[in-house]
Structure 1
Amino acid sequence: MPADPTAAAPGPRARVGIDVGGTFTDFVLAVPGERSAPLHHKEPSTPGDPARAVADGLAAVLDRAGLRPTDLAAVTHGTTIGLNAIIQRRGARIALVVTEGYRDILEIGRSRMPSSFDLHAAKEEPLVPRDRIVEIPARLGPDGRPVRVPDDRELARVAEELRATDAEAAAVLVLHGHTDPAFEAEVTRRLAALVPELPLTSSAAIWPEVREFERALVTCLNVYIQPLMRRYFDRLEALLDGLGVTAPVYIAASNGGSLSLRSAAERPIETVLSGPAAGVTAATRLGRAAGISRLVTFDMGGTSSDIAVAVDGEPEFATHTTIGGLPLILPVVAVNAIGAGGGSVVRADTYGALKVGPSSAGADPGPVAYGRGGTRPTVTDCYLHTGVIDPATFLGGRMTLDAPAAARALGLVGDELGFATDDPGAAADRAADGALRVATAGMAVELQKTLAGRGLDPAEFTLVPFGGAGPTHAAVLAEEVGIREIVVPHAAATFCALGAVGADLRRDFARSLRRDLDDTTVAALRDILAGLEERARTWLAEQGPETAPPVLTVAADMSYTGQAYELRVELSGEPTLAALTEAFHQEHERLYGFRDATAAVRLGTARLAISAAGPDLATVPAEATADGPPPAPVGHRTVLLAGDRVTADVHRRDALRTGHTLAGPAVIEQDDTTVLVPPDWSATVDPLGNLRLRHS
């Protein structure tokens, strides 16, 4: 990167994307419009004070770029702090205020067993215990008319009970509150005046969608992580101010966009899946630049592997997902966990079967080969033992791995599985090879289910792997599911940070109606959409200076009356009864092959999303076009693949140029990851600097 990439134009222009992980915090610095390559940096994470690694890494990346803190135009930060707090149940002590008669709403939930086949499976512990749930005499009817309005005496009693819970924050849920958010907001305001020391949040202000249990839960989750997130954001702001950073700070959101630090502090629940979503955003941008319209992203980290599907250059979205065993009804990029990560533990179960995960060695102590006290072998130990990764060049040589220790640990697993032979290394070989096959098979089944459920053919898709282990495992997984092309980004291990750099500003809004479709409902829909649009434009104006022109996307959840599930229907133009009805019939027919023109149609939830495009990160060509054959391999090594030993050429990624093509078996090493090219595959550097792997 040039010493001063902003020299061509005055004023702050550089932008930084940040992704905080358990082991490393990743940084990408880019200058919109510049055709120089983004600068990538990895800083060791500081779990005890995550903001410290952000500040230290930002100072380091600015120093490497020859920039001052005032040269930054924006900083966009993805974080898993909220997600980890939910998973580990280490959020704030919170309370819930709920309509009388619904104190058990979190205990009862949807009355579903965790597993229909396991009578001993325990339910997930409720986020708020029953002794911190306070009932209030406030209630709306399904039509939005007040049924109970609390008087001052009743509110005083609720306030006293709230104080007795010793909570740090509380959520307020009124039955049918989605029908009239203003009613629930007024109840919350009156109650807050009596307990000014306790932050209260109205459920309808967070997400006014039907289904009381899910709305209660999303509001509780928001207040559960809000104190922790606000402390983190305050700490982050203080450290960045200390560096002299004057640029606005944005937080990556679960919907693939971003929002201001203030919005994130008010609604931290919208950031819990920001890391995976940012990676999908970067992958779809790469796909558009490379002319790939149908792709599957494959993010393989230390604990798990996630996939997302993009068709026509846009990622798929979901309005229902699960985090930490709890349902979340906010719109998010549809990312599905499909299997093990590099730190997933390899073991023999009580029945003598080989298992991979779900437990993980994490970053500390990590895989056995890290030499930090780990005793249980992991997928990374398997890569090392089978020869896919080199103990001397891991992370560009910054970390030397202990191959003999990994072999001993895998040998013990092999002995438990009955693989012991006269050859001391055979048990370890079979355990490592078998573990990689088991991990691949599990991933393949989940990926095939995901694609089949959408009626999609794997052969029509390109796999885009990222994360530290994604490029290492990509070809093996692709071969298993029938994907014949892979595009490996140049800096795959910092890909989520790259997605954060160019993220759009985006927020979703919703309001449930739950009415049969007629002229009155259509009129109500128009009014609701007008209100949502006004809120959306106000929100965008508050996000910061110089936003791009807004783009509004409108949809509605609809069903035939009596159906249990609704379909998302994209809307365009002025809503009319005929247009809405026909749009739903067409979507139902597309998915299920028929329409029922005689059935009544029901309108469930109106949805509106507003976005403002992020910076235009110019496509960066490779350093030079090849003027001859690829360089000679820097070495050769034996790799164990699917039970067979093959001799693979070893190449350095930074020695390859546009047009260079390598035939497998080969291993391509770069500082942040290792790319495996099996037999019958080839790898070519494309004009954008990506590695394109193709099956012959």
Structure 2
Amino acid sequence: MREAKARLGVDIGGTFTDVVVETGGGARHSAKVLTTYAAPEDAIVEGMHRVCAAAGLRPAALGQVIHGTTLATNALIERRGARTALVTTEGFRDVIEMRTESRFEQYDLNLRLPEPLLPRQMRFTVPERVDARGRTVVPLERAAVEAVADRLAEARVESVAVGLLHSYLDPAHERLVRDVLAERLPEVSVSLSSEVSPQMREYERFNTTVANAYVKPLMASYLGRLRRRLAAEGADCAVFLMHSGGGIMSLEDASAFPVRLVESGPAGGAVFAADVAARHGLGRVLSFDMGGTTAKICLIRNGAPKTARVFEVARSYRFKKGSGMPISIPVIDMVEIGAGGGSLASVDAMGRIQVGPESAGSEPGPACYGHGGARPAVTDADLVLGKLDPANFAGGTIPLHPDRSEEALAAQVGDRLGMDAVAAAHGVAEVVDETMANAARVHAVENGEDLAGYTMIAFGGAAPLHAGRLAQKLGIDRVLVPPGAGVGSAIGFLRAPFSFEATRSVYMRLREFDAGAARTLLEELAAEAAGFVRTCDADAAIGTEAKLFMRYVGQGWEIPVALPAELARAPEAAAVLARFEADYARLFGRTVEGLDVEVTVWSVLAATPSAAAEAVAGAGEGAEAPAAAERTVFDPVAGRPAAARVVERTALGRDARVTGPAAIVEAETTVIVPAGWQAVQRADGCLDIAREGGA
């Protein structure tokens, strides 16, 4: 076998583990392996050997492994983290349980709030106080911390979250707690809120720190096992992790701040879509990533995904903002729906078809897998509707059983509603597609966007099966399905820069703007963020982007305001105000006269430069591609089965055209081209699917 410098991207999902290798010459090979929950590294190793064999490489030829995982997310959702305690300021023991005054379902008299990660007996206090200006009001005595350390030892804790009031302004008290715990309980993991999330709002900050502490031992153990296992298999190379903000961080930083990995897989997908959008010169894109467990929708403007600094995990009310655990870290802003290929279908007490959020996962999987699953999933519906070839699923590595899908759909849905299996499958598919369409509409409205004129980029194992119907529902006239769509997030890992975003809460009104203090703060944040990036690549060129979170005095929440490089180097009140007012007017249509403006959070993102996107040539006049076969695929618009041409994607040449209804098949997924739409193979391998007579 030949030696070559290569990079491996690995995405662990709820159903499949996707593995992609790119060789030094630019060739790419991929594989989908069922996720092994008990030991996730087993699926990674199996996939690595598959793709290396396909590429003619030995694992020793790998130069980097870049990994994204849902393990931290799953541990939070399933409440299977470490035995954790919180140490906080006296009087603030119940902050993570009291939450905020917000009622996410205003008229529900039986409102059920999410349970905090830690019960009350695992929350401890120390007498200390720092005020909102960072001044020490009540000093923290070492003896008080030692007394708490003794109680933590009695409670047999494995991990401790330290969240003291206003510690983001002065972390000295939190560091004292850490020092005492290191002496008294050296085997216990410690997370400080002043390091994990140094931002105002104690509920979000405490909750984020607790979440970090809760998953830290689990993730440290897993990442250590993974590193050793890869080395034992011959891949003794650097391992990096994709973080929620869309960049790559070192294994050591990921072990220290695992909460930043909570949205790592979806973030890779957004990076993948942004790269495709840049190559095709698209300014407005709807990224649609549908895998085995969830679907993710993200807005991409001018080549960059929208970002946020708070998101929610484990919502107790589906789609209800405010019903989950807030995590206060830099993150790509997206809406996530419990609607994937493994999402289970049922009929509720009112006779309505429901899909998800419960998933069959990979064990036992949908009924058609033949692994003991008796309840129908979205994959079962897709199979019965003719969207999938039972003999060529996952490149033929997983045989499907249509008869078991029909039995499960009939038993769980059809018999209860007086439908046959095909009608039941159609109902399931329509429900899941409408659920995703509704989520996309709401996400667009919340961000002040109109989806008219947007292009959808679809990827993930299940997205190309549903993208055409979703586009019809949203009034979108164009869909791009990139090559490697079935493993898009893993490819996105290989496109992401090394990056880290440092944030700090320092309150400053523009009428009292201190230019010197602002410049010093931004310089410190830039140095901090760049320091994290240097742990990944000590010699790389690093660029920085500064952002302020600002609001009118009296408002409850801020908007992000990006600063150009020259303004970040020499901040000046009038110029900052002008940037704020322009962004505020763009979002809300007007500014507010007579009110002062304040900065609450300062942020600097440090990142290595990304490769410039190569523009894709326009489509030419190609011939209709010949069909390899024909099969029956259900037409949801007509409401009946229709004959569809089956075309091998690998057989398509540049500018080849496929007129719907058609199924374009490949190893990791199938692209459904609806009737009245036409697909064109672009120069970069993307399938450009457009409504005939549309864009």
Q: What TM-score comes out, normalization by structure 1 length?
A: 0.93
Structure 2 partner of 1:53: 43
Letter in 1 for 2:545: T
Cα pair 1:301 1:470 within 8 Å, conserved: yes
Give 3-state SS (helix, strand or coil) of 1:377's partner: coil
Structure 1 partner of 2:227: 237
For 2:56, which of 57, 66, 72 is the aligned residue?
A: 66
The answer to whether structure 1 residue 480 and structure 2 residue 473 are counterparts is yes
Matched ranges for 1:310-389 at <5 A: 310-324=300-314, 325-338=324-337, 340-389=339-388
Matched ranges for 1:151-170 at <5 A: 151-170=141-160
Structure 2 partner of 1:178: 168
Structure 2 partner of 1:391: 390
Cα pair 2:500 2:530 within 8 Å, conserved: no
For 1:632, which of 608, 627, 642 is the aligned residue?
A: 627
1:113, distance to aligned residue in structure 2 (A): 4.4
Give 3-state SS (helix, strand or coil) of 2:452's partner: helix
Give 3-state SS (helix, strand or coil) of 2:168's partner: helix
Structure 2 partner of 1:130: 120
Tell me how far apart the structure 2 counterparts of residues 499 and 482 of structure 1 sit (CA, whole Å). 27
Structure-2 change in CA distance of 1:600 and 1:489 (3 Å): same
For 1:96, which of 86, 91, 97 is the aligned residue?
A: 86
Structure 2 partner of 1:9: none
Which deviates the most, 300-309 or 86-95? 300-309
Tell me how far apart the structure 2 counterparts of residues 344 and 65 of structure 1 sit (CA, whole Å). 33
Cα pair 1:304 1:341 within 8 Å, conserved: yes
Cα pair 2:280 2:616 within 8 Å, conserved: no
For 2:673, which of 663, 671, 677 is the aligned residue?
A: 677
Structure 1 partner of 2:452: 459
Structure 1 partner of 2:14: 22
1:312, distance to aligned residue in structure 2 (A): 0.4
Structure-2 change in CA distance of 1:56 and 1:361 (3 Å): closer
Give 3-state SS (helix, strand or coil) of 1:62's partner: helix
1:183, distance to aligned residue in structure 2 (A): 4.3
Give 3-state SS (helix, strand or coil) of 1:459's partner: coil
Structure 1 partner of 2:318: none
1:619, distance to aligned residue in structure 2 (A): 8.9
Structure 2 partner of 1:613: 609
1:541, distance to aligned residue in structure 2 (A): 2.0
Tell me how far apart the structure 1 counterparts of residues 218 and 615 of structure 2 sit (CA, whole Å). 38
Tell me how far apart the structure 1 counterparts of residues 592 and 37 of structure 2 sit (CA, whole Å). 56
Tell me how far apart the structure 2 counterparts of residues 153 and 392 of structure 1 sit (CA, whole Å). 69
Cα pair 2:270 2:287 within 8 Å, conserved: yes
Cα pair 1:248 1:544 within 8 Å, conserved: no
The answer to whether structure 1 residue 563 and structure 2 residue 562 are counterparts is no
Which deviates the most, 75-84 or 610-619? 610-619
Letter in 1 for 2:359: S
Cα pair 1:466 1:495 within 8 Å, conserved: yes
Cα pair 1:37 1:620 within 8 Å, conserved: no
- Please give the per-residue CA displacement for 1:102-160, whole angstroms capped at 9, x wherever unaligned: 11111111144463333334321211111111110121011111011122332222222
Structure 2 partner of 1:509: 502
Give 3-state SS (helix, strand or coil) of 1:480's partner: helix
Structure-2 change in CA distance of 1:518 and 1:530 (3 Å): farther
1:615, distance to aligned residue in structure 2 (A): 6.3
1:184, distance to aligned residue in structure 2 (A): 2.9
Structure-2 change in CA distance of 1:260 and 1:410 (3 Å): same
Flag structure 1 segments of 5+ consecutive residues without an equivalent. Answer: 7-12, 421-426
Tell me how far apart the structure 1 counterparts of residues 508 and 538 of structure 2 sit (CA, whole Å). 40
Cα pair 1:172 1:203 within 8 Å, conserved: yes
1:610, distance to aligned residue in structure 2 (A): 0.5
Which deviates the most, 206-215 or 529-538? 529-538
Tell me how far apart the structure 1 counterparts of residues 391 and 236 of structure 2 sit (CA, whole Å). 41
1:504, distance to aligned residue in structure 2 (A): 0.5
Tell me how far apart the structure 2 counterparts of residues 527 and 268 of structure 1 sit (CA, whole Å). 29
Tell me how far apart the structure 2 counterparts of residues 196 and 4 of structure 1 sit (CA, whole Å). 47
1:631, distance to aligned residue in structure 2 (A): 2.3
Structure 2 partner of 1:542: 535
Cα pair 1:365 1:372 within 8 Å, conserved: yes
1:235, distance to aligned residue in structure 2 (A): 0.7
Cα pair 1:29 1:501 within 8 Å, conserved: no
Which deviates the most, 168-177 or 514-523? 514-523
Which deviates the most, 364-373 or 61-70? 61-70
Tell me how far apart the structure 2 counterparts of residues 628 and 693 of structure 1 sit (CA, whole Å). 15
Give 3-state SS (helix, strand or coil) of 1:465's partner: strand
Tell me how far apart the structure 2 counterparts of residues 678 and 523 of structure 1 sit (CA, whole Å). 60
- Please give the per-residue CA displacement for 1:225-261, whole angstroms capped at 9, x wherever unaligned: 1101111111111112213334211111111111011
Give 3-state SS (helix, strand or coil) of 2:191's partner: strand
Give 3-state SS (helix, strand or coil) of 1:460's partner: coil
Tell me how far apart the structure 2 counterparts of residues 628 and 568 of structure 1 sit (CA, whole Å). 48
Cα pair 1:4 1:65 within 8 Å, conserved: no
Structure-2 change in CA distance of 1:656 and 1:230 (3 Å): same
Tell me how far apart the structure 1 counterparts of residues 36 and 633 of structure 2 sit (CA, whole Å). 37
- Please give the per-residue CA displacement for 1:72-101, whole angstroms capped at 9, x wherever unaligned: 221111111111111111010011111111
Cα pair 1:634 1:652 within 8 Å, conserved: no
Letter in 1 for 2:597: V
Matched ranges for 1:619-658 at <5 A: 629-642=624-637, 643-658=639-654
Q: What TM-score comes out, normalization by structure 2 length?
A: 0.93
Cα pair 1:99 1:137 within 8 Å, conserved: yes
Letter in 2 for 1:42: K
For 2:281, which of 262, 283, 291 is the aligned residue?
A: 291
1:5, distance to aligned residue in structure 2 (A): 7.7
1:336, distance to aligned residue in structure 2 (A): 0.7
Structure-2 change in CA distance of 1:348 and 1:197 (3 Å): closer
The answer to whether structure 1 residue 269 and structure 2 residue 259 are counterparts is yes
Letter in 2 for 1:662: V
Tell me how far apart the structure 1 counterparts of residues 352 and 254 of structure 2 sit (CA, whole Å). 45
Give % identity.
35
Tell me how far apart the structure 1 counterparts of residues 513 and 282 of structure 2 sit (CA, whole Å). 44
Structure-2 change in CA distance of 1:24 and 1:666 (3 Å): same
Matched ranges for 1:441-452 at <5 A: 441-452=434-445
Count of residues paired in the alignment: 678
Cα pair 2:552 2:598 within 8 Å, conserved: yes
Structure-2 change in CA distance of 1:609 and 1:517 (3 Å): same
Q: Give the RMSD, CA atoms, in angstroms.
A: 2.3
Which deviates the most, 378-387 or 315-324? 378-387
Structure-2 change in CA distance of 1:671 and 1:226 (3 Å): same
Cα pair 2:632 2:641 within 8 Å, conserved: no
Structure-2 change in CA distance of 1:663 and 1:249 (3 Å): same
Tell me how far apart the structure 1 counterparts of residues 574 and 388 of structure 2 sit (CA, whole Å). 61
Tell me how far apart the structure 1 counterparts of residues 429 and 47 of structure 2 sit (CA, whole Å). 34
1:475, distance to aligned residue in structure 2 (A): 0.2
The answer to whether structure 1 residue 205 and structure 2 residue 200 are counterparts is no
Give 3-state SS (helix, strand or coil) of 1:458's partner: coil
Tell me how far apart the structure 2 counterparts of residues 621 and 56 of structure 1 sit (CA, whole Å). 37
1:354, distance to aligned residue in structure 2 (A): 2.0
Cα pair 1:648 1:667 within 8 Å, conserved: yes
For 1:217, which of 204, 207, 223 is the aligned residue?
A: 207
Cα pair 1:413 1:431 within 8 Å, conserved: no
Cα pair 1:77 1:251 within 8 Å, conserved: yes
Cα pair 2:279 2:616 within 8 Å, conserved: no
Structure 2 partner of 1:424: none
Structure-2 change in CA distance of 1:187 and 1:459 (3 Å): same
Which deviates the most, 529-538 or 82-91? 529-538
1:63, distance to aligned residue in structure 2 (A): 2.9
The answer to whether structure 1 residue 87 and structure 2 residue 87 are counterparts is no
Tell me how far apart the structure 2 counterparts of residues 19 and 201 of structure 1 sit (CA, whole Å). 26
1:339, distance to aligned residue in structure 2 (A): 5.2
1:399, distance to aligned residue in structure 2 (A): 2.7
Tell me how far apart the structure 1 counterparts of residues 457 and 252 of structure 2 sit (CA, whole Å). 33
